[in-house]
Structures are given as structure tokens and as C-alpha cells.
Chains A and B, each alone.
Chain A
Amino acid sequence: MNWTCEQIETRLSEYVDGSLDASALSAFEGHANGCQRCAPLVARVAGIVAQMHALEMLAEPPQLAEQILARTLGPRANKAKRSGVLDWFRPMIQPRFAYGAVSVLVTFGVMIPALGIDWHKPKLADLRPINIYRAADREAHLVYARGAKFVSDLRVVYEIQSRLRPETEPQSAPDNEPQPTKSSPSGTTNGPQKNPRGLNRARQFSSAGVVLASAVPGACERISP
């Protein structure tokens, strides 16, 4: 069946919406594809409809919902005021502000004891520059002295350990080696000669360790296993 241009125009929307049945679709396309008047019209309408379907809805004014609610439920001044106050604090409720706040607290936690200010009994005199200077100087010297003592202790312990270690290692090594023949009466093998010398050296260092340990309180526990 051949359709006329008027029929094409009348049923154009059905074609665009895809609601034509198979025979009508074939008749529609049979005419529209070959008609110089209808083909551009069909393409234009189909294109415009597709573009309109793709258009997103415009955003409503931000205050619209509040205005409607105010006109229907009455003024909601309290809620608005409350939300206004909350708006001030809203930027603070985020991780970067929390990190900043924690770092400030930690800084104060370190600085205030260092400046000699007592948390429990704060005094106005604590804020005087000379007192702050003295407290800071005292704290700095104390920290330096504690650090120096700690390094010195470490050095002693290391010294003791490094002196004891060479004796324990060579002694354990011969255990794995094959034992020298015990039947040799002449004692020509190296084993019997080595052991007494090693024992002497061990005794020597052990006594030195006891002396050092008595000089350094607390080192005793580290030396004795």
C-alpha cells in the first residue's frame, strides 16, 4: 500500500515513538525514504524529539522547597536558625579539620610541660618570659643529659657484648668438627692445647664484665642470661 505525504505527517509521531505495526512501518518507510518532502521532515522531527528526550531537567531554585514549606506548614524560623548555626560548624566536621585539631593538641601537650607549666595548678607567673626561659633551658639540659646517659649506657652494653661474643663463637665451632682422637697420649693435636687458653681468656673477660657491670647499674641483667 502506498502512503501519501498527508498520511506520513499524520502518523509521524507514531513512527518516532516506534509504535507502528510492521505493515504500517513498511508502508511509512516505503514512502518517506523516497519522498523529497517527507524524508527531511521525518529526520528533523526524529532528531528534535531525541534531543528533547536527552535534555536534563533544569535545577529548581535552591530556596523553592523551603518557600513552599514555609507557605504550607508555616514559618520554620527556629529550624532555619538552627540550621544556620549548624552551617557555621559544618566545615569543621571533616577529616582535615580533625587532623589539624589533633596536631594542635599534641603540640600543646608537648610544649606546655616543656615550658614548665603545671597542668593541674596553672599560675600567672608561669607565663612570665624569664620563667618560661628558665623552664625551657632546664628542660633542654635535662633532655640532653638523659640522652647522653642513654647513649653512654648503650655504648657500655655494646662494649661488653662485643668482647664476650668472640669467645662464645669459636667455642661452639669445634663442636661440629670431628673430635680429635682421644687415644693420642702425646697430645700432639691442637684441641687439648686450645681449650685451656680459651678458658683463661673467658675468665679474664668475665671478670672484666663483672667490674663493668658493677660500674653500670642495670647492665648486670643484660649481661647475665
Chain B
Amino acid sequence: MEPDAQLVQQCLRGNNSAWEELVRRHARRVFNLCYRFTGNRTEAEDLSQEVFLRVYRTLASYRSIHGGFPTWLTSVSRNLLIDHYRRTRRERLTDSLDDAMPKLENKESSGRRPDQHALAGELSLQVQDALGKISPDLREAVILRDLQGLEYQEIQQVLQIPEGTVKSRINRGRIELARLLDQMGLRPH
């Protein structure tokens, strides 16, 4: 049995240390997934907490025979991210209208930059900007494949879609991302 599955078993028996170990092992992966999907550090932090809260409540439903714990955790995270995306769609539409107005756009960007600069390097920021501009379906596929390092089969399990669709989304996502980054002036080394 893999270590994560053992920890899950111990958690279910009421071992708090095992849960603590699970959280510390996977907090970074979940945070990165949330951040890459939302592009906002505070939102990613809140969503990461929500993910682990949901995982804690539904831990008994995890079955190791259906795949590894990271895949299951990613699946829970992805479902929560999609829920969050749908819930906040209206706010984002309002934001995008506000962004069209020059004064508000300046205010928006000045509030974002320091946070983003503190997070990562130039490439990471540009990738993040470009990811925010492609559709959520393509974005999640590219994030899972190229930033989280999941295999096609694992992505298929997480997204619950056929393998052909996974490949197609990853392919289109990469091409769109490359075009956007090219427009932003980023050239591959």
C-alpha cells in the first residue's frame, strides 16, 4: 500500500498526526493548482483551505484501487475550482467591463503587481497571464499536464472525460498559450 493510502487509513482511525502529515505533503500541490487556475494568491489560499476541508469530510470515500491519492486530491480540487469559477463568473464579467475603463484598469493593475512580483519570476508571471486568457477547459488541461505533471490517464480520471478529449484540450491549450506568449513577447529559449 502506498504511503498516502496508509496515512488515509490512519486518518480514518482518528490519527490526527496522519492528517497533519497528509496536509503538509500536499498543501503545495493544491495551492499551486488553485493559484494557476485563479491567478490570485489570496483566492488560491482560501480555495486550498476549502479543498482540504472537503477532503477531510469525504476522506472515507477515497478508494486506493481507483487511483493514487494525489489524483483523487486533484480531482476534488478541480471540482471545487470549477464550482468557484461558475460562482464567480458574474463578478469576473463585471470586472472585465471595469477593466475596459482606463482609470479602473490602472487601479486594478497597481493592486496586482506587487503580489505577483513577490510570487515568481517573469516567465511564471507571463505564463500565468496567458493562462488567464484561455478558456477554463483548456486551462485546466494544460495546468494538470504541464504545471502539475500529471499523466494523460490521470487527467482523464480527474476531468472525467475521454482520453481523446484530454489530448485535444491539451494540444489546443498549448497552441493557444504559445500564441499568446508570443504576442506578449516571450520567446522560447
Chain A residues near B (Cβ < 8 Å): 9-14, 16, 41, 43-53, 55, 57-61, 64-65, 67-69, 71-73
Residues of A within 8 A of B120 (CB): 55, 58
Which residues of B152-187 have CB atoms within 8 Å of chain A's CB atoms?
167, 170-171, 174-175, 177-179, 181-182, 186-187
B142 CB → nearest A CB, Å: 8
Give the complex CA separation of A6 and B52 in angstroms.
43
Contact in complex: A64, B167 (CB < 8 Å): no
B174 touches which one: A13, A43, A71, A73 (CB < 8 A)? A13
Q: Does B40 contact A (CB under 8 A)?
A: no
Contact in complex: B16, A73 (CB < 8 Å): yes
Give the complex CA separation of A71 and B57 in angstroms.
11
Give the complex CA separation of A49 and B49 in angstroms.
29
Q: Does B20 contact A (CB under 8 A)?
A: yes
B28 touches which one: A43, A53, A59 (CB < 8 A)? A59
Residues of A within 8 A of B48 (CB): 60, 64, 68
Contact in complex: B35, A58 (CB < 8 Å): yes
Residues of A within 8 A of B188 (CB): 43-44, 46-48, 50-51
Contact in complex: B146, A52 (CB < 8 Å): yes
Residues of A within 8 A of B24 (CB): 65
Give the complex CA separation of A7 and B183 in angstroms.
24
Q: Does B104 contact A (CB under 8 A)?
A: no
Complex: chain B residue closest to A16, CB-CB = B174
Give the complex CA separation of A64 and B41 in angstroms.
12
Q: Does B129 contact A (CB under 8 A)?
A: no
Contact in complex: A57, B127 (CB < 8 Å): no
**What are 11 A-B pairs with beta-carbon distances under 8 A?**
A11-B171, A41-B178, A44-B179, A46-B188, A51-B188, A52-B127, A57-B28, A61-B45, A65-B20, A67-B49, A68-B27
Q: Does B71 contact A (CB under 8 A)?
A: no
Give the complex CA separation of A52 and B147 in angstroms.
6
Complex: chain A residue closest to B41, CB-CB = A61
Contact in complex: B56, A60 (CB < 8 Å): no
B182 touches which one: A14, A44, A50 (CB < 8 A)? A44
Q: Does B60 contact A (CB under 8 A)?
A: no
Residues of B within 8 A of A55 (CB): 120, 123-124, 127, 147
- Whether A51 contacts B174 in the complex (CB less than 8 A), given A61-B31, A64-B48, A69-B20, comes out as no
Residues of B within 8 A of A46 (CB): 188
Q: Does B19 contact A (CB under 8 A)?
A: yes
Give the complex CA separation of A31 and B52 in angstroms.
48
Contact in complex: B19, A48 (CB < 8 Å): no
Contact in complex: A12, B171 (CB < 8 Å): yes
Residues of A within 8 A of B75 (CB): none
B45 touches which one: A48, A52, A53, A64 (CB < 8 A)? A64
A42 CB → nearest B CB, Å: 10
Give the complex CA separation of A48 and B186 in angstroms.
9
Give the complex CA separation of A77 and B167 in angstroms.
48
Residues of A within 8 A of B170 (CB): 13
B49 touches which one: A47, A71, A73 (CB < 8 A)? A71
